[in-house]
Structure 1
């Protein structure tokens, strides 16, 4: 089906990559919808079959997920791995991957919303990917829709792997999803409390999918990743795809964080007091000064707050950092509920 592999054929922009289909050795079918978008259907599909989107390469320099996806597709083609769930594998942004950059014109992972407009490479990609995901989910019960959008963090982190659970007004934080998080040995999960325009948020809000943005270590060049560092995630992901997640034991519980503050840059005179290279999830304590936004001093309000995704150079009106803290969480009717410590 591929001259080299799903990944490296996708990245070879000098050759066409027309729609194609082939039967999997172990059963089922692979269908290349277009460059970078591959649908894999198991030999048997029923109402209990999950439809799972696995996306990677939304940021071109985040390469560990690309290698994980390519290895899974290679094994499906070789007949050494048989999936039991419908899967849509996406390698989102070949031009940026080849360019070894996060993006070319603007951040693709801020453009996944129905009304997206403008003229850029990324806007066109976002529109195509939203259409692909919508078509894939269309024949599937909402309860069986999943989307794992795989990334790597730009900066170092106190948690080597972690996930971000997008905010929705519906029940998209199931007990099964959080069981997967624990079994995948993700160190932490951050519960977003405001709608964003990320890829996983699109699937959660538009299609009621169980969705996560998953951060797998730190950015490295393609071919230089130590995949053994994410063995736990890889094993759980493969178990999920072949319907055997119950065979994986969780060796620990992921720490669950909630957002207690969103630091937004509203003034040109904006800065943090901490070092620009501070690790994600670095803790600060009540009363600590975090920086300033014009004449407004930014301080810690909870007993402690950890900083995630800080960027003092964002555009005016944009998020400059999230401040998070561990939450009180429990399951009610198989869906997660939580509250901040002082609420």
Structure 2
């Protein structure tokens, strides 16, 4: 069929920055409606919305060079438009930073995924975008049951990783770590989940903190240019994603998942900052208790537990930002349908 909404596709239209994106709507034969809200913003409303309907945000491209999740969303939305995927849940597809993606860049002025708290900062391209994204999320989630709100913010890692796919569950006071959410990860063969121990300023944290959404940052493979991602390695996750939005997850089997707790967050606090390990160290590389990880000015940075693993190490971040997470494996259980650990 001829797609009346896009000249090329959801993704590639968003990247043509000198061409305006006009709002548009298409009703499918199933009765579902596809609404183009703006550049990189498409809402899919199922034929029937009830009190049980999930309201799911699927976002990608917070970092412009993390392209595999963008390609996944592009493929899924194309199949929705050609009616080979019958959506049963209310969905919002988001490509968050098309300008950075078009420039093959992680960001323009600063890291967008550090701008979703209330801290006042100088204006920048990313600050403007964060305000728009927060408004879009509020509009999507308002007037729907808190228990039905989901947000999967999808990324790709800068470096190699012992776990090819993993997720980070933000720390908030609301019950946002449901058995159903963890089951989705297992059905998508996501290899590990990190349970954060402190508030953050990420996009997924924003949705969990302010709207009680079942929200995750999901890391899918490694950064690669558009067209060079090995999406075959993400087949299990793609099937689970399709199952989530079509309410057809029951046929997928849960796979084992490793669970980690965050033991410490290392922030860069001075110009004289560096790690002792190699720049290309893999995510989830482990260290022993007392091993020196690096330095921050005159302060030495130590591993605080045996088999403490490093994730997201980046000694080039701005002063005051997270330079690494340190995590340890942990045994978990469910209490009142929420995953917890001792």
Per the shorter chain, which TM-score range? over 0.9
Which structure 1 residue ranges, 5 or more long, are not aligned?
Answer: none
Q: Which moved more, 1:6-15 or 1:293-302?
A: 293-302
Matched with 1:133 is 137
Please report how far the alpha carbon of residue 311 of structure 1 lies from its aligned counterpart in structure 2 after TM superposition: 1.6
For 1:37-116, list aligned pairs within 5 A: 37-114=41-118, 116=120
Matched with 2:304 is 301
User: Residues 304 and 325 of structure 1 are in contact (CA less than 8 Å); yes or no, is this contact kept in structure 2?
Assistant: yes
Matched with 1:22 is 26
Pair 1:3 & 2:7 matched: yes
TM-score calculated relative to the size of structure 2? 0.96
Please report how far the alpha carbon of residue 318 of structure 1 lies from its aligned counterpart in structure 2 after TM superposition: 2.5
Pair 1:328 & 2:331 matched: yes
For 1:233-248, list aligned pairs within 5 A: 233-248=237-252
Q: Distance in 1 between matches of 2:144 and 2:161?
A: 36
For 1:91-240, list aligned pairs within 5 A: 91-114=95-118, 116-240=120-244
Q: Distance in 2 between matches of 1:95 and 1:36?
A: 11
Q: Distance in 1 between matches of 2:57 and 2:236?
A: 19
Change (3 A) 1:313 1:14: closer
Aligned Cα RMSD in Å? 1.2
TM-score calculated relative to the size of structure 1? 0.96
Please report how far the alpha carbon of residue 277 of structure 1 lies from its aligned counterpart in structure 2 after TM superposition: 1.0
Matching residue within 272, 276, 293 for 1:269: 272
Secondary structure (helix, strand or coil) at the match of 2:14 reads helix
Secondary structure (helix, strand or coil) at the match of 1:157 reads coil
Please report how far the alpha carbon of residue 331 of structure 1 lies from its aligned counterpart in structure 2 after TM superposition: 0.3
Secondary structure (helix, strand or coil) at the match of 2:250 reads helix
Q: Distance in 2 between matches of 1:120 and 1:266?
A: 22
Q: Distance in 2 between matches of 1:247 and 1:191?
A: 27
Matching residue within 267, 272, 279 for 2:282: 279
Please report how far the alpha carbon of residue 316 of structure 1 lies from its aligned counterpart in structure 2 after TM superposition: 2.9
User: Residues 146 and 211 of structure 1 are in contact (CA less than 8 Å); yes or no, is this contact kept in structure 2?
Assistant: yes
Q: Distance in 2 between matches of 1:39 and 1:305?
A: 41
Please report how far the alpha carbon of residue 116 of structure 1 lies from its aligned counterpart in structure 2 after TM superposition: 4.9
Please report how far the alpha carbon of residue 183 of structure 1 lies from its aligned counterpart in structure 2 after TM superposition: 0.7
Pair 1:292 & 2:285 matched: no
Matched with 1:319 is 322
Q: Distance in 2 between matches of 1:318 and 1:160?
A: 24
Could you give the per-residue CA deviations for residues 290-335 of structure 1, whole angstroms, max 9, x where no partner exists? 1222332222221210001112223333322111001121100101
Secondary structure (helix, strand or coil) at the match of 1:8 reads helix
User: Residues 267 and 294 of structure 1 are in contact (CA less than 8 Å); yes or no, is this contact kept in structure 2?
Assistant: yes
How many residues of Structure 1 are paired with residues of Structure 2 in the alignment?
338
Q: Distance in 1 between matches of 2:316 and 2:68?
A: 27
Change (3 A) 1:296 1:199: same
User: Residues 191 and 258 of structure 1 are in contact (CA less than 8 Å); yes or no, is this contact kept in structure 2?
Assistant: yes
Matched with 1:255 is 258
